[in-house]
Structure 1
Amino acid sequence: MSDDNFKITIDDVAKKAGVSKTTISRFLNGRYEYMSDATRENIEKVIEELNYRPNNLARSLKSNKSRLIGVLVSDISNHFSSILVKGIGDVCKENGYNLIIASTDNDPLKEREYILSLLDNSVDGLIINTAGGNDDFLIRLSKKGLPIVLADRSIKNTVFDTVVVNNYEVTTELILHLISNGYSKIGFFTGKIGNISTRTERKQAFIDVCKKYLKKDECNLIFEIDNHLNSIEEKLKAMINSNKGARPAVFAVNGMVLLNVLQVINKLNLKIPEDIAVCGYDDWGWASLIPPGITTISQPSYEVGVESAKRLMSRINKNIEDKPQKLILNATLVIRGSTKSY
């Protein structure tokens, strides 16, 4: 890119597009309701032709906005996080905002430190996929007036706009599916649950269904595992060997755990579903490719990001003044061969 591109001004864009500087400014701030589609498309074309880069520093000083959004995800290595951020980023880009992304590694202390750092960088708002355990801190933060939206994970009080999926209902549907297909020993495999709302909700649905439909000694098969495959292997063997007469199944709390469980099953040369049924949260691309196809819960990860960002944009632009709301999106059960009856 030539240095000359940085000399292009808003006056040059307005002149070539045949509109006023005010119209260009409105376009750059995402206020498209003040112009026709034809005008918007023409401005986009001119900006691309001139390779115009707005002076964000000057814009932020004039509008008292940094045009920056802070996004905190619990684990950037989790495919869910990248899809979530993609949804957030697409909406923010349309509205002239850039992202600063931080990964907390599900650590409440890191989450607090990153939030304070983002506040020091004068972000205009925050979208938080919270690690849990920071409810009081977040509630105190709400009193500072900074727009905040919680994505995927919630806290007990609806202090912030929150976008989640129907974890309890869809997990209930999946466990009932396993039981109806004759699986009477179901292991719930999860990372550390702690105060993470999504894992807590899925665990509670598992417990409630098992207590209602299975024997008492089959309702407490909850295994908190780390990322080491040896930990999963040990617990999986114990579950299978504890009762030879029952048909075993594994429910994985998310896509990362599901992938690790599948690696252990492959190592042990277990056949799916003849030796053990397998299912879990997150319908990532490979789930349909692993024979005989892995039953999963498909959650609208991208849509969670989109709706979170839309809500935040509305709060920043003061388009809504109502109390914070919790928006619940529907995840869906995708049944494949890994849980079939035989």
Structure 2
Amino acid sequence: MKLTIREIASLAGVSTTTVSHILNDKGQRFSEEIREKVLKIVEEHNYSPNYFASNIIKNKSRLIGVIVPDITEVFASTLINLIRKPLNEEGYNLMTCESSSSLEEELALLERYRQLSAEAILMFTSSKLSEKITNNRYHGIPVVFIDAGINDNYYGKIFFNEYDTAVRAINWLIKKGHSHIGLITANDKQHAFPERADAYYDALAANGLSLNKQYVVKTEFTIEKGYEGTQKLLQQEKLTAIFCCDDNLALGCYQAIYDAGKVVNQDIDIIGFDGVEILKHIRPKVKTLHLPFGDFGDLIATKIITAIAEPLKKQPDTYFNMIFNEGEE
């Protein structure tokens, strides 16, 4: 049976305050004899303090709240896995909750993390939150955004050369002889990545290809919607390639092509967007635009740690280059 601090104090013949101070490394004013007596009882009874109670005493929760639209979204889960280790090494624990891309739910989660005394919040969002969060702080808690630059970002925005890299990818398809290229892109309700679709439209125009609205599907960035969108595109008999503005869409696209009895990269070429780990392990291989996830993850972890230590310190914007390897197969 787990002992309480009160029971430890009774066994040691000291006050609960004395036990609390010793357990929280504040017992220097007590004799070594008393310290050893308390710690021996703790060891003999395998005592472990209540996490939240202990951290309330220390005024440090060591908790970082994470808000994501959908935990199954491979972009978010890839990035969370990358930042988990460096943050754990600094003594922080991550708690992740889903918002379903709902502003109301995002605000509720911000409040929940405030009540849990989170030391920082990492927020994947497509919502404009400047009225609720000033200088990236919610009731004093630092908030680091992953939001494609939608919100004013006191802790520095992160930019990628999405447009230029996507144009390169579409040009590559056209050079291969594709003139009937489909697009699966954001529905403008839950996502805000206009440069990705703009690159498709502009590349077609620059190469003298007219836009066929039947080749464009706007949807949510999920595997299921990628599958459904591809089924719709496959009704266009001349279609020979599909540009997916997210790797979740590319995964659904891959499955729909397979289920239609066609062969990826023979009957239909696919290009995805993000370069998540799972795409490296499927065959035939799907080409994708690669984010520098390693550097991206390191930067986010550093931003969070810096924001906790110096919440009033402005952080600079950062620019990363994406990669599209035309020669990979």
Taking structure 2 as the reference length, the TM-score comes to: 0.74
Residue 108 of structure 1 is matched in structure 2 by 103
Of 283, 295, 302, the match for 2:287: 295
The correspondence of residues 253-332 of structure 1 with structure 2, limited to 5 A, is 253-285=245-277, 287-318=279-310, 322-332=313-323
Is it true that 1:183 corresponds to 2:178 in the alignment? yes
Q: Name the CA distance, whole Å, in 2 between partners of 1:140 and 1:54.
A: 35
Q: Name the CA distance, whole Å, in 2 between partners of 1:157 and 1:169.
A: 24
TM superposition shift of 1:288: 4.5
Q: Name the CA distance, whole Å, in 2 between partners of 1:330 and 1:290.
A: 25
- For residues 136-183 of structure 1, give each alpha carbon's deviation from its aligned partner in whole angstroms, at most 9, with x where no partner exists: 434486474321111363315334433454322322221222222222
Which amino acid in the other structure matches residue 162 of structure 2?
N
Q: Which protein shows a greater Rg?
A: 2
CA contact (8 A) 1:162 1:326 kept: yes
Q: Name the CA distance, whole Å, in 1 between partners of 2:88 and 2:271.
A: 36
Residue 83 of structure 2 is matched in structure 1 by 88
Unaligned runs of 5+ in 1: 15-19, 22-50
TM superposition shift of 1:253: 1.6
Is it true that 1:77 corresponds to 2:77 in the alignment? no
Residue 208 of structure 2 is matched in structure 1 by 214
Aligned length: 297
Which amino acid in the other structure matches residue 117 of structure 1?
R
Moved more, 144-153 or 117-126: 144-153
Does the residue aligned with 2:235 lie in a helix, a strand or coil?
helix
Which amino acid in the other structure matches residue 73 of structure 2?
N
Structure 1 residues 152, 305: closer, same or farther in 2, change over 3 A? farther
Is it true that 1:333 corresponds to 2:324 in the alignment? yes
Structure 1 residues 166, 102: closer, same or farther in 2, change over 3 A? farther
CA contact (8 A) 1:125 1:316 kept: yes
Residue 192 of structure 1 is matched in structure 2 by 187
Structure 1 residues 131, 74: closer, same or farther in 2, change over 3 A? farther
Q: Name the CA distance, whole Å, in 2 between partners of 1:290 and 1:148.
A: 36
CA contact (8 A) 1:132 1:194 kept: no
CA contact (8 A) 2:201 2:211 kept: no
CA RMSD of aligned residues (A): 3.7
Q: Name the CA distance, whole Å, in 2 between partners of 1:86 and 1:213.
A: 40
Does the residue aligned with 1:137 lie in a helix, a strand or coil?
coil
Structure 1 residues 54, 300: closer, same or farther in 2, change over 3 A? farther
CA contact (8 A) 2:68 2:76 kept: yes
CA contact (8 A) 2:126 2:150 kept: no
- For residues 189-209 of structure 1, give each alpha carbon's deviation from its aligned partner in whole angstroms, at most 9, with x where no partner exists: 135333633x32322222232
CA contact (8 A) 2:279 2:286 kept: yes
Does the residue aligned with 2:71 lie in a helix, a strand or coil?
coil
Is it true that 1:235 corresponds to 2:233 in the alignment? yes
Structure 1 residues 149, 284: closer, same or farther in 2, change over 3 A? closer
TM superposition shift of 1:13: 12
Does the residue aligned with 2:319 lie in a helix, a strand or coil?
strand
TM superposition shift of 1:102: 0.8
Identity %: 23
Structure 1 residues 109, 292: closer, same or farther in 2, change over 3 A? same
Unaligned runs of 5+ in 2: 9-18, 29-45
Structure 1 residues 103, 335: closer, same or farther in 2, change over 3 A? farther
CA contact (8 A) 1:191 1:257 kept: no
Residue 39 of structure 1 is matched in structure 2 by none
Q: Name the CA distance, whole Å, in 2 between partners of 1:222 and 1:278.
A: 14
CA contact (8 A) 1:104 1:111 kept: yes
CA contact (8 A) 1:298 1:332 kept: yes
CA contact (8 A) 1:151 1:164 kept: no
- For residues 203-243 of structure 1, give each alpha carbon's deviation from its aligned partner in whole angstroms, at most 9, with x where no partner exists: 222223223223233588431135354443123323xx3xx
Does the residue aligned with 1:65 lie in a helix, a strand or coil?
coil
- For residues 22-44 of structure 1, give each alpha carbon's deviation from its aligned partner in whole angstroms, at most 9, with x where no partner exists: xxxxxxxxxxxxxxxxxxxxxxx
TM superposition shift of 1:310: 1.2
CA contact (8 A) 1:292 1:336 kept: no
Structure 1 residues 231, 181: closer, same or farther in 2, change over 3 A? closer
Which amino acid in the other structure matches residue 117 of structure 2?
S
TM superposition shift of 1:123: 1.0
TM superposition shift of 1:324: 3.8
More helix by share: 1
- For residues 254-275 of structure 1, give each alpha carbon's deviation from its aligned partner in whole angstroms, at most 9, with x where no partner exists: 2211111111111222233343
Does the residue aligned with 1:250 lie in a helix, a strand or coil?
strand
Is it true that 1:250 corresponds to 2:242 in the alignment? yes
Structure having greater relative contact order (Cα 8 Å, sep ≥ 6): 1
Does the residue aligned with 2:187 lie in a helix, a strand or coil?
coil
CA contact (8 A) 1:74 1:131 kept: no
